[in-house]
Structure 1
Amino acid sequence: MKVLLVASFGGHWVQLKRLAALLEAEEQVFVSTADRHNAGASYYLDDFSVRELWRGVRQLPKAIRIVRECRPDVIISTGAAPGLLVLFAGFLLGRKTLWVDSIANCRRLSLSGRVARLFASRVLTQWPELASWRVRYLGRLL
Protein backbone atom coordinates (compact mmCIF):
# COMPACT_ATOMS: atom_id res chain seq x y z
CA MET A 1 0.00 0.00 0.00
CA LYS A 2 1.25 3.48 -0.89
CA VAL A 3 0.46 6.25 1.61
CA LEU A 4 0.74 9.98 1.00
CA LEU A 5 1.30 11.77 4.34
CA VAL A 6 0.75 15.53 4.54
CA ALA A 7 1.29 18.10 7.31
CA SER A 8 2.40 21.64 7.93
CA PHE A 9 5.84 21.93 9.48
CA GLY A 10 5.99 22.14 13.29
CA GLY A 11 3.67 20.29 15.66
CA HIS A 12 1.51 18.85 12.88
CA TRP A 13 4.66 17.48 11.22
CA VAL A 14 5.89 15.90 14.47
CA GLN A 15 2.54 14.16 14.97
CA LEU A 16 2.49 12.97 11.35
CA LYS A 17 5.99 11.49 11.63
CA ARG A 18 4.99 9.64 14.82
CA LEU A 19 1.92 8.28 13.09
CA ALA A 20 3.95 7.26 10.02
CA ALA A 21 6.27 5.21 12.23
CA LEU A 22 3.26 3.11 13.28
CA LEU A 23 2.07 2.38 9.74
CA GLU A 24 2.87 -0.81 7.89
CA ALA A 25 2.91 0.62 4.38
CA GLU A 26 5.05 -0.53 1.48
CA GLU A 27 5.75 3.08 0.55
CA GLN A 28 5.34 6.38 2.37
CA VAL A 29 5.58 9.71 0.56
CA PHE A 30 5.63 12.97 2.54
CA VAL A 31 4.35 16.47 1.74
CA SER A 32 5.28 19.42 3.98
CA THR A 33 5.33 23.19 4.07
CA ALA A 34 8.98 23.44 5.12
CA ASP A 35 11.78 23.69 2.60
CA ARG A 36 13.74 20.65 1.48
CA HIS A 37 16.55 21.29 3.97
CA ASN A 38 14.28 21.14 7.02
CA ALA A 39 11.62 18.50 6.56
CA GLY A 40 12.89 15.76 4.28
CA ALA A 41 9.60 15.58 2.38
CA SER A 42 9.26 14.61 -1.27
CA TYR A 43 6.84 17.44 -2.10
CA TYR A 44 6.33 20.94 -0.72
CA LEU A 45 3.45 23.42 -0.54
CA ASP A 46 3.38 27.00 0.68
CA ASP A 47 1.88 27.32 4.14
CA PHE A 48 -1.46 29.06 4.57
CA SER A 49 -4.37 29.19 6.99
CA VAL A 50 -7.85 27.86 6.30
CA ARG A 51 -8.96 31.46 6.81
CA GLU A 52 -6.81 32.42 3.78
CA LEU A 53 -8.64 30.23 1.29
CA TRP A 54 -7.47 32.28 -1.68
CA ARG A 55 -3.92 31.02 -1.02
CA GLY A 56 -5.19 27.47 -0.99
CA VAL A 57 -7.16 27.93 -4.20
CA ARG A 58 -3.97 29.11 -5.90
CA GLN A 59 -2.18 25.92 -4.76
CA LEU A 60 -4.96 23.47 -5.64
CA PRO A 61 -3.47 22.66 -9.08
CA LYS A 62 -0.16 21.79 -7.39
CA ALA A 63 -1.95 19.61 -4.82
CA ILE A 64 -3.79 17.79 -7.61
CA ARG A 65 -0.50 17.30 -9.47
CA ILE A 66 1.10 15.82 -6.32
CA VAL A 67 -1.74 13.31 -5.89
CA ARG A 68 -1.67 12.38 -9.58
CA GLU A 69 2.12 11.87 -9.58
CA CYS A 70 2.16 9.93 -6.32
CA ARG A 71 -0.95 7.80 -7.02
CA PRO A 72 -1.46 6.87 -3.34
CA ASP A 73 -3.89 4.28 -2.05
CA VAL A 74 -4.67 6.57 0.87
CA ILE A 75 -3.84 10.13 1.91
CA ILE A 76 -3.38 10.94 5.61
CA SER A 77 -3.06 14.39 7.18
CA THR A 78 -2.68 15.69 10.72
CA GLY A 79 -3.17 19.28 9.55
CA ALA A 80 -3.20 22.08 9.01
CA ALA A 81 -4.74 23.81 5.95
CA PRO A 82 -2.19 22.53 3.38
CA GLY A 83 -2.98 18.99 4.53
CA LEU A 84 -6.67 19.71 4.11
CA LEU A 85 -5.97 20.96 0.58
CA VAL A 86 -4.19 17.74 -0.42
CA LEU A 87 -7.00 15.68 1.12
CA PHE A 88 -9.47 17.69 -0.98
CA ALA A 89 -7.37 17.05 -4.09
CA GLY A 90 -7.45 13.35 -3.22
CA PHE A 91 -11.22 13.49 -2.81
CA LEU A 92 -11.55 15.09 -6.26
CA LEU A 93 -9.41 12.29 -7.72
CA GLY A 94 -11.29 9.49 -5.93
CA ARG A 95 -8.63 8.59 -3.36
CA LYS A 96 -9.30 7.41 0.19
CA THR A 97 -8.53 10.16 2.69
CA LEU A 98 -8.00 10.27 6.44
CA TRP A 99 -7.89 13.38 8.62
CA VAL A 100 -6.39 12.91 12.11
CA ASP A 101 -7.18 15.95 14.24
CA SER A 102 -4.39 17.11 16.53
CA ILE A 103 -4.31 15.89 20.11
CA ALA A 104 -4.02 19.57 21.07
CA ASN A 105 -7.66 20.09 20.05
CA CYS A 106 -9.25 18.83 23.24
CA ARG A 107 -12.22 21.22 23.43
CA ARG A 108 -13.41 21.14 19.83
CA LEU A 109 -12.36 19.90 16.43
CA SER A 110 -10.03 22.24 14.54
CA LEU A 111 -11.52 24.41 11.81
CA SER A 112 -9.70 22.29 9.21
CA GLY A 113 -11.07 19.15 10.88
CA ARG A 114 -14.60 20.52 10.72
CA VAL A 115 -14.13 21.21 7.00
CA ALA A 116 -12.61 17.74 6.46
CA ARG A 117 -15.85 16.19 7.78
CA LEU A 118 -17.53 17.34 4.58
CA PHE A 119 -15.43 15.22 2.19
CA ALA A 120 -12.79 13.06 3.91
CA SER A 121 -13.32 9.29 3.88
CA ARG A 122 -12.63 9.27 7.63
CA VAL A 123 -12.08 11.93 10.28
CA LEU A 124 -10.54 10.92 13.59
CA THR A 125 -10.37 12.78 16.87
CA GLN A 126 -8.11 11.85 19.76
CA TRP A 127 -10.68 12.87 22.39
CA PRO A 128 -13.77 10.66 23.01
CA GLU A 129 -15.97 13.64 23.89
CA LEU A 130 -15.38 15.13 20.42
CA ALA A 131 -16.69 12.11 18.52
CA SER A 132 -19.82 13.03 16.57
CA TRP A 133 -21.36 12.86 13.12
CA ARG A 134 -18.58 11.76 10.73
CA VAL A 135 -15.92 12.03 13.45
CA ARG A 136 -14.68 8.84 15.07
CA TYR A 137 -12.68 8.25 18.21
CA LEU A 138 -10.50 5.15 18.06
CA GLY A 139 -8.17 6.07 20.90
CA ARG A 140 -5.24 8.40 21.22
CA LEU A 141 -2.93 7.88 18.31
CA LEU A 142 -0.16 10.28 19.24
Structure 2
Amino acid sequence: MSNRAVTYGGVLLAAGVGYYFYQAGGDPKVAQKKAEADATKISNDIQKQLPGSGKEAQKDAEVAGQQISSKVNELARDAKSEANKVDAKLDQYRKDAGQQLDSAAKSAQKNTNAAIDSFDKNVTEGAEKAKKGVSSWFGGSK
Protein backbone atom coordinates (compact mmCIF):
# COMPACT_ATOMS: atom_id res chain seq x y z
CA MET A 1 0.00 0.00 0.00
CA SER A 2 2.82 2.44 0.85
CA ASN A 3 4.46 1.73 -2.50
CA ARG A 4 1.29 2.86 -4.21
CA ALA A 5 1.19 5.99 -2.05
CA VAL A 6 4.78 6.81 -2.99
CA THR A 7 3.96 6.31 -6.66
CA TYR A 8 0.92 8.57 -6.46
CA GLY A 9 2.89 11.13 -4.48
CA GLY A 10 5.63 11.12 -7.12
CA VAL A 11 3.10 11.52 -9.91
CA LEU A 12 1.43 14.41 -8.10
CA LEU A 13 4.79 16.05 -7.47
CA ALA A 14 5.80 15.67 -11.12
CA ALA A 15 2.44 17.06 -12.23
CA GLY A 16 2.85 20.03 -9.90
CA VAL A 17 6.35 20.76 -11.17
CA GLY A 18 5.14 20.38 -14.75
CA TYR A 19 2.31 22.81 -14.04
CA TYR A 20 4.69 25.45 -12.68
CA PHE A 21 7.11 25.00 -15.59
CA TYR A 22 4.23 25.29 -18.05
CA GLN A 23 2.89 28.43 -16.36
CA ALA A 24 6.39 29.93 -16.33
CA GLY A 25 6.99 29.21 -20.01
CA GLY A 26 9.80 26.78 -19.18
CA ASP A 27 11.86 29.25 -17.12
CA PRO A 28 12.90 27.48 -13.90
CA LYS A 29 13.48 30.72 -11.95
CA VAL A 30 10.01 32.01 -12.73
CA ALA A 31 8.52 28.60 -11.92
CA GLN A 32 10.35 28.61 -8.60
CA LYS A 33 9.04 32.09 -7.75
CA LYS A 34 5.48 31.08 -8.63
CA ALA A 35 5.76 27.92 -6.55
CA GLU A 36 7.10 29.92 -3.62
CA ALA A 37 4.30 32.48 -3.98
CA ASP A 38 1.67 29.74 -4.07
CA ALA A 39 3.26 27.96 -1.11
CA THR A 40 3.25 31.23 0.83
CA LYS A 41 -0.37 31.89 -0.08
CA ILE A 42 -1.40 28.38 0.95
CA SER A 43 0.53 28.62 4.20
CA ASN A 44 -1.10 31.98 4.96
CA ASP A 45 -4.53 30.48 4.32
CA ILE A 46 -3.76 27.55 6.60
CA GLN A 47 -2.30 29.87 9.20
CA LYS A 48 -5.50 31.91 9.29
CA GLN A 49 -7.56 28.77 9.86
CA LEU A 50 -5.45 27.42 12.74
CA PRO A 51 -6.35 29.01 16.07
CA GLY A 52 -3.44 30.27 18.22
CA SER A 53 -0.63 28.90 16.10
CA GLY A 54 0.55 32.10 14.42
CA LYS A 55 4.32 31.94 14.94
CA GLU A 56 4.55 28.14 14.78
CA ALA A 57 2.50 27.99 11.61
CA GLN A 58 4.61 30.72 10.09
CA LYS A 59 7.81 28.81 10.88
CA ASP A 60 6.32 25.60 9.52
CA ALA A 61 5.25 27.41 6.38
CA GLU A 62 8.73 28.84 5.93
CA VAL A 63 10.23 25.38 6.32
CA ALA A 64 7.68 23.98 3.86
CA GLY A 65 8.43 26.83 1.47
CA GLN A 66 12.14 26.12 1.72
CA GLN A 67 11.54 22.42 1.12
CA ILE A 68 9.37 23.18 -1.91
CA SER A 69 11.99 25.64 -3.14
CA SER A 70 14.77 23.09 -2.78
CA LYS A 71 12.66 20.44 -4.54
CA VAL A 72 11.93 22.84 -7.42
CA ASN A 73 15.65 23.64 -7.65
CA GLU A 74 16.48 19.94 -7.70
CA LEU A 75 13.91 19.28 -10.41
CA ALA A 76 15.23 22.21 -12.43
CA ARG A 77 18.77 20.80 -12.20
CA ASP A 78 17.48 17.40 -13.26
CA ALA A 79 15.62 18.94 -16.20
CA LYS A 80 18.75 20.81 -17.30
CA SER A 81 20.78 17.64 -17.00
CA GLU A 82 18.29 15.71 -19.13
CA ALA A 83 18.22 18.54 -21.68
CA ASN A 84 22.01 18.42 -21.89
CA LYS A 85 21.88 14.65 -22.42
CA VAL A 86 19.35 15.10 -25.22
CA ASP A 87 21.51 17.81 -26.81
CA ALA A 88 24.53 15.50 -26.68
CA LYS A 89 22.57 12.70 -28.32
CA LEU A 90 21.30 15.05 -31.04
CA ASP A 91 24.85 16.24 -31.71
CA GLN A 92 25.98 12.62 -32.03
CA TYR A 93 23.11 11.87 -34.42
CA ARG A 94 24.07 14.93 -36.51
CA LYS A 95 27.69 13.78 -36.67
CA ASP A 96 26.66 10.24 -37.62
CA ALA A 97 24.31 11.53 -40.31
CA GLY A 98 27.04 13.79 -41.68
CA GLN A 99 29.48 10.91 -41.83
CA GLN A 100 26.93 8.71 -43.58
CA LEU A 101 26.22 11.47 -46.11
CA ASP A 102 29.93 11.94 -46.76
CA SER A 103 30.37 8.20 -47.20
CA ALA A 104 27.40 7.99 -49.57
CA ALA A 105 28.70 10.98 -51.56
CA LYS A 106 32.16 9.42 -51.89
CA SER A 107 30.63 6.11 -52.94
CA ALA A 108 28.40 7.81 -55.51
CA GLN A 109 31.36 9.79 -56.86
CA LYS A 110 33.44 6.61 -57.10
CA ASN A 111 30.64 4.78 -58.95
CA THR A 112 30.10 7.76 -61.27
CA ASN A 113 33.81 7.95 -62.11
CA ALA A 114 33.89 4.21 -62.79
CA ALA A 115 30.88 4.52 -65.10
CA ILE A 116 32.48 7.46 -66.93
CA ASP A 117 35.75 5.54 -67.34
CA SER A 118 33.87 2.54 -68.70
CA PHE A 119 31.93 4.75 -71.11
CA ASP A 120 35.13 6.45 -72.28
CA LYS A 121 36.78 3.06 -72.83
CA ASN A 122 33.80 1.80 -74.87
CA VAL A 123 33.69 4.99 -76.96
CA THR A 124 37.45 4.84 -77.59
CA GLU A 125 37.27 1.18 -78.63
CA GLY A 126 34.29 1.91 -80.88
CA ALA A 127 36.09 4.85 -82.45
CA GLU A 128 39.16 2.72 -83.15
CA LYS A 129 37.00 0.04 -84.80
CA ALA A 130 35.19 2.64 -86.88
CA LYS A 131 38.49 4.22 -87.89
CA LYS A 132 39.85 0.83 -89.01
CA GLY A 133 36.65 0.16 -90.97
CA VAL A 134 36.74 3.54 -92.73
CA SER A 135 40.50 3.21 -93.44
CA SER A 136 39.92 -0.18 -95.06
CA TRP A 137 37.49 1.39 -97.55
CA PHE A 138 40.18 3.71 -98.80
CA GLY A 139 42.93 1.16 -98.96
CA GLY A 140 44.61 1.92 -95.68
CA SER A 141 46.17 -0.94 -93.81
CA LYS A 142 45.57 0.48 -90.41
* TM-score range normalised by the length of the shorter chain: under 0.3
TM-score with structure 1 length normalisation? Answer: 0.23
TM-score with structure 2 length normalisation? Answer: 0.23
Which protein shows a greater Rg? 2
Q: Give the strand-richer structure, 1 or 2.
A: 1
Larger relative contact order (CA 8 Å, sep ≥ 6): 1
